[in-house]
Amino acid sequence: MTDKLTGLLTRKSFFEEALKIKSDIKKCSVVVMKIAHFKNVNDGLGDELGDKVIVQIAKRLKQTFINVRLIGRMSGGNFSLLFEELSSQELEHEILRLRDFVERPLLLKREVIVLNVNIGVVDERNQLDNISEMIHAAEVALHNAMSSRVKISYFDSAMKLEAQLSHQLENALRVSLTKQATEIHRAIHSQEFFLVFQPIMNIKYGYPSAFEALLRWNHPEKGIISPATFIPIAEQIGVMELLGRWVLRRACKEAADWPNNSKFRSPKISVNISPMQLRNRAAIVETVKSALEESGLEADRLKLEITESQEISHEMIETVHALKRLGCWVAIDDFGTGYSSLMELNTLPVDYVKLDRSFIKSIGGSDEKKERQSLNMIRAVVSLIDVFNLIPIVEGVETSYQLTTCTDAGINLVQGFYFSKPLDEKAVQKFLLQKLEIK
């Protein structure tokens, strides 16, 4: 199957065609290339011109690399090339040509466009077991190039474990999810996926204001796998929406059963929404709506956490408005790590701002200068948050010294191991009943 826009192989067919290669894979090299900040190119020039850029680049690849075995468009601005029988010098030459030809200026609709690329390479020296592992390895090298801010990165043995893990996990996750996609409940009953809940304490009252729902995957063979590992894969293979829907429904259902008394209302449930889920407005609004209806949870007990690691677009603002109209709360997660300034943040109708854990980490550490800087940062950010009528939350609080720092800075809501690690469903009930008895 070919990509409609460019006529190149799609990601799926690139894998399929690569698997058909009969010759010795030790003579194959895979090169993956990503147009840097392609989303910005698209946003700046419009989708139509963005598409023309992709078409032109695909043409350049086809015309420039006559001896390549396979060329695929893996997604948006990502392309893959598979070469056979090249010596190291020949491969290096081809990679430099790739960079050179793609970065040459484009003249389209009166615009001169100059692209930048990052490239990941895996060659025959890496001795990987199969071709699809090689493609993943090249993608790992590409991520390495991007995170180390270099143009070209060659896969090496240090990255090998990561690549194998990513490959195995993708397969395992794909199997788990495709087998059970139609009845995702089975996955839940077999408890492969489960939620844990970490309290967000209101230190003024000594009672949890909310619990954050955190997804875990208990793989039958590999044990507990961190969401940082499997969520990117779930997004890549297109099952994040399914998984996200399950998390929301499960979290709301659980929170609906939490105890309360005349003095304290049951805590809110805080659920993370991935940038990908947020992109499909109709789907996320429907998911939240039905999770609330099914569970009977009052809308104002649901808080949605969205990350700050994406640029705030008009679409995003509209989506957040639509979610707020359902009656739930919205928090910005990991604030201080992403793109947005507080001024920009003010364009989003959010209620809470969760400071990234890096803010609190150096409080009480050995580096006094860093501690002073962090403290000033916390105070400055909290006073600005206050100007915008937002509520700050600090996560990652582990010591009483850090807690005092928060109290002194006027922060009431804190989360971290100092109060509790993430708890399973039963432990949450116990935790709440204990707090209610004491109060």
Task: Return residues touching another protein (CB under 8 A).
Answer: 56, 59-60, 63-64, 100-101, 104-110, 112, 114
The token duo for 427 is 């432990």
Least CB distance from residue 63 to another protein, whole Å?
6
Nearest to another protein of 60, 281 (CB atom):
60
Nearest to another protein of 85, 100 (CB atom):
100
* CA distances, 142 to each of 28, 70, 122, 229 (Å): 17, 18, 10, 17
Least CB distance from residue 313 to another protein, whole Å?
26
Nearest to another protein of 112, 228 (CB atom):
112
Alpha helices, H only, 388-424:
400-408
Least CB distance from residue 204 to another protein, whole Å?
52
Least CB distance from residue 97 to another protein, whole Å?
8
Least CB distance from residue 114 to another protein, whole Å?
8
Between CA 336 and CA 406 the distance in angstroms is 17
Least CB distance from residue 93 to another protein, whole Å?
12
Alpha helices, H only, 21-156:
38-45, 47-64, 88-103, 131-147
Between CA 148 and CA 63 the distance in angstroms is 31
Task: Confirm if 169 and 234 have CB atoms less than 8 A apart.
Answer: no
Nearest to another protein of 53, 403 (CB atom):
53
Between CA 323 and CA 325 the distance in angstroms is 5
Nearest to another protein of 109, 179 (CB atom):
109
Q: Which of 190, 195, 228 is nearest to 212 (CA)?
A: 195
Nearest to another protein of 59, 189 (CB atom):
59
Element (H, E) at 339: none
Interacting residues of 194 by C-beta distance below 8 A, sequence separation 6+: 188, 215, 216, 218, 424
Nearest to another protein of 110, 263 (CB atom):
110
Size (the chain), residues: 439
Task: Confirm if 243 and 234 have CB atoms less than 8 A apart.
Answer: yes
Least CB distance from residue 29 to another protein, whole Å?
21
Least CB distance from residue 54 to another protein, whole Å?
14
Nearest to another protein of 56, 202 (CB atom):
56
Least CB distance from residue 347 to another protein, whole Å?
30
Q: What φ, ψ does residue 83 adopt, rounded to 5°?
A: -110, 155
Nearest to another protein of 100, 257 (CB atom):
100
Burial annotation 34-56 (CB, 10 A radius, 16+ → b, else e) = bbbebeebbeebeeebbebbbeb
The one-character DSSP state at 126 is G
